[in-house]
Structure formats: structure tokens, C-alpha cells
Amino acid sequence: MLRNALGKTFRFLGYTVQYGCIAHCAFEYLGGIVVCSGPSMEPTIQNSDIVFSETLSRHFYCIRKGDIVIVKSPNDPKSNICKRVIGLEGDKVCTSNPSDFLKSHSYVPKGHVWLEGDNLRNSTDSRCYGPVPYGLIRGRICFKIWPLNDFGFLRASPNGHRFLDD
């Protein structure tokens, strides 16, 4: 009887460890569900929207301009932020705020990306903390899950004019 109970306990623990490893690999290498908070990505992503973030793009260096990414915050490594990629390494980016009369530009250094929120007037982003190391990217947002009436792929940036081509 004791042997039977121990056998069932160890079998249960074995399955728990196996499924735990599978879940870890799925979330680390495939993606996961993220609840977004804050106004910086409005109108594309509203406060409390639920999105799916895939991580394969970051592993294979497939992040492109216009992608919305989840990134470890350069100011607070315990939290993640959601921003749009405006520039990749070597790109010329506008580093000034939309309300600035004189516009300033800079180039994104090697191994970094330039991130901005879609709500430029209410976003703490690369205009404040500078280029972000590529290694801080946790995943790329593919589509919105919730609310259901907005389910699907994310729309283009309302600030497309900030993407510079030279």
C-alpha cells in the first residue's frame, strides 16, 4: 500500500516536472499572452488590452521597423514596456518631441533599436532614455486578443511620418 502511494506520488511529480518544462519552453521560445497597461501605445493598444507576444522574432533577429515589441524597461529592469520600433541599428531617427520647433536627429548605434509609443505626447520612450539594446527585447506583439471586438492583427502606426528613410 505504501509502495503504491509512493509510486503514484513520484509519477505525479514526474508529470508535473515534464509539463512544467514544456510550459517553460513554450513561453520562453514561442510566446505568451500579455496584458498591456498605460496610455503610451494608444490608440493602437488601450489600457488593459490583452495581446499575444511571440519570441521567435527576437531569437532570429527578425524585428523590423514598425513592429510593436515587449522590452525590459531600461529604467526599471523588473518591469516590461510595450513600444513600437521606429529605428534599427544604423537608421537615422528623429530624437525630438513632436512639439519641438527645431528637430534633432541621431543614428541608432549597432546592437540597438529606437522605440517610441504611439501616443507621443504621453510616452516615456527612447526620446527620454535613448537607444535600447536589442538584448532587452522580450518579444514581438502579433495580434490583439481582447477586447473581442478589436481581435486581430494590430494596425499601422499613427506616427508613420516618424519613420525616416535616409
Phi, psi of 157 (to 5 degrees): -65, 135
> Taking the chain, what is the end-to-end CA distance rounded to the nearest angstrom?
76
DSSP 102: S
Q: Cα–Cα distance between 64 and 41 in angstroms, integer?
A: 17
pLDDT at 115: 92
Spans of all domains in the chain: 33-146+153-162
CATH, domain 33-146+153-162, list 2.60.40.10, 2.10.109.10, 3.20.20.80, 3.50.30.60: 2.10.109.10
Q: DSSP letter for 97, please.
A: -
Report pLDDT for 158: 67
Q: Give me the active site residues, please.
A: 40, 83
pTM exceeds 0.75, yes or no: yes
Looking at residue 155, what DSSP letter applies?
A: P
Q: Please give the grid coordinates belonging to residue 158.
A: 499613427
For residue 147, say if its preceding peptide bond is cis, omega within 30 degrees of 0. Answer: yes
**What pLDDT is recorded for position 165?**
57
Of 42, 33, 27, nearest in space to 118 by CA: 42
Helix ranges, 26-55 (H):
none
pLDDT at 11: 83
Q: How high is the pLDDT of residue 161?
A: 60
Q: What is the pLDDT along the chain (166 residues), one digit of tens a residue?
A: 777 777 788 788 888 888 888 777 777 777 788 888 888 888 888 888 888 888 877 777 788 888 999 999 888 889 889 999 998 998 888 877 767 777 788 899 999 999 988 888 888 888 888 899 998 999 999 888 888 788 877 776 666 666 655 5
